[in-house]
Structure 1
Amino acid sequence: MLKGVLIDWGGVLTTSLADSIAGWITEDRIDATHYKDVMRELILHAYEGGDGESVIHALERGEISAPDFERDLAARLVTLDGVPPVAEGLLARMFVGFQPVEEMNEMLRLARTAGIRTCLVSNSWANDYPRHTWDGLFDEIVISGEVGMRKPEARIFHHALGLVGLPPEECVFVDDIEANITAARAIGLVGIHHRDAPATIGELEGLFGLSLRS
C-alpha cells in the first residue's frame, strides 16, 4: 500500500526548465548552440555517471558557492557579442522564468489531506526557493545543498524516506530527469517520469486510488 510521495521542484512543481533557460538565452544574448554543447557535457557527466566530480556535483551538494559556480559557468559560455556573459546573478537570471504549476501544488495539498506523506527532494542550484508559497504542501523538505547529498545518489532518497518514516516500497518518486527515476527505482521506490501535470496526476490517482484534482 502506497503512503508517500517524494517529489522534485524545478520542472515538476514549476514550469519547465527548458522554457526558463530559453528566455534567459534570449535576454542575455547567449550563443545557444555553444550553450547546449557546454551543458550537454556537464549534465551528462553529472547525471549519467561520468568519471570524477564536476562543478555541478559540487554546486548541488553545496560544496561551492553560487558566485563560484557562476564564474565557472560564465567562463565556459559566450554571448552573440563574442564575450562571456556577466557572471554575477547568472543563476537567478537562468531560473527567473520558473512559475508554479498550481495543478501540481493542489495535488500535493489534496494528497496530504488524504493522509499521504509528502516530501520535496530537490537538487539546488543555489535556488531562491519560494518557501512562503509552500504552506500545506510538504511534511518534509530535502534540499540537496542543505543536506550535502544530491540526486541520483541513493543516500538522498534514504534520507528523505527516513524523514517521512516510510520504506521505499510504500513511496512514489516524481522527477523530470530519467537518471533520478532510475536511481529511485533501484532502491525500491515507484518512479514516475514527469512530463506534464495531467499525466503525472493521472498516474498518481491510479496508484493511490484517490482523486487528486479539485
Structure 2
Amino acid sequence: MPGKKPHLLFDFGGVIINIDYQRTVDAMRQLSRAGSTIEFNQQHQSELFDLLETGRLTPAEFRTGLRRHYALEGTDAELDAAWNAMLLDVPAERLAFIAELRAQGYQTALLSNTNQLHIEEINRRLRTQYGFRHGIADCLDRVFYSQQVGLRKPGPEIFAHALREMNWRAAETLFIEDSFQHIKTARRLGLHTLFLAPPLTLTAALPAALRAFPTPPLA
C-alpha cells in the first residue's frame, strides 16, 4: 500500500538538467597552453571549484584562478563558455512532470552544488526556451544553491539547512540525486533516496519510487 506523500528534494545537474562534465574538461584543455586538465568531475574537484561553489570566490577571482592554476589563456567570455560547456538541455518532460507533482500536492525543493556563472546561464536558457520569469525557481517551491548557502554536498550541513528551512522531517523526504557520495550522506541523515544512476532518468524512475514510498527501491 502506498504511504504518505514524501517531500521531494531534487538535485539539479544530472536529474533535472542534463550534464556532461567532460565537455568542460575538453574545452578548458584547449585553452591551456600547457595542455593542463582541470581537476573537476562528478566525484571529485579541486579547492578552486569548491570555493566558487560556496560563494567564496567571485567569477572574476575564479577566472584568475583558472589562468594561474591551469595555465589557461583566453578572454573572460571564452573561459565562461568553457565552464558552461557542461550544461546541456533541460528536457521539457521533466519540467512538466515536476509541475504535475506540485499540482498533486507534493512539496518540492532543489538542492544543488552550483555557482553564479552556471545559475545565470541555465536560468537565462530557461527564460529563453520556456518563458520562465526567474528560471528554475519558477518550477519548485524553493531552491537551495550551494553558492548562496555557503555549504555544499556531500557535507551534512547543507542537507540540514534545507530541511530546516522547509520545515521537513528527514524521514518524510525523498532525495533524488545522481552522485552516490551525496546519496550516502542523505541516507546517514535518515532521508529516503533515489539514486539516478545512468541510464535511469527522473521521469522513468521517480513514479515507481513514489508508489513504493516510504521504502523506495535503491538503484
CA distance in 2, matches of 1:110, 1:32: 49
Among 83, 87, 105, the residue aligned to 1:94: 83
Partner of 2:56: 63
Unaligned 5+ residue runs, structure 1?
A: 47-53, 79-83
The superposition leaves residues 149-193 of structure 1 with CA deviations (integer Å, 9 ceiling, x where unpaired) of 111111111111123221111111122222111111110112222
| Correspondence list, 1:159-170, <5 A | 159-170=161-172
CA distance in 2, matches of 1:17, 1:32: 23
CA distance in 2, matches of 1:33, 1:184: 37
CA distance in 2, matches of 1:148, 1:75: 24
CA contact (8 A) 1:20 1:98 kept: no
Compute the TM-score of the two structures, normalised by the length of structure 1.
0.76
CA distance in 2, matches of 1:171, 1:124: 22
Q: Which amino acid aligns with 1:93?
A: A
Unaligned 5+ residue runs, structure 2?
A: 124-132, 213-219
Structure 1 residue 14: deviation in Å? 1.4
Is 1:189 paired with 2:182?
no
What percent of counterpart residues are identical? 22
RMSD over aligned Cα atoms? 3.0
CA contact (8 A) 1:10 1:98 kept: no
Structure 1 residue 147: deviation in Å? 1.4
The superposition leaves residues 72-101 of structure 1 with CA deviations (integer Å, 9 ceiling, x where unpaired) of 1233335xxxxx232624244321443212
CA contact (8 A) 2:196 2:205 kept: no
Q: Which one is further off, 107-116 or 6-15?
A: 6-15
Q: Which one is further off, 87-96 or 99-108?
A: 87-96
CA contact (8 A) 2:25 2:40 kept: no
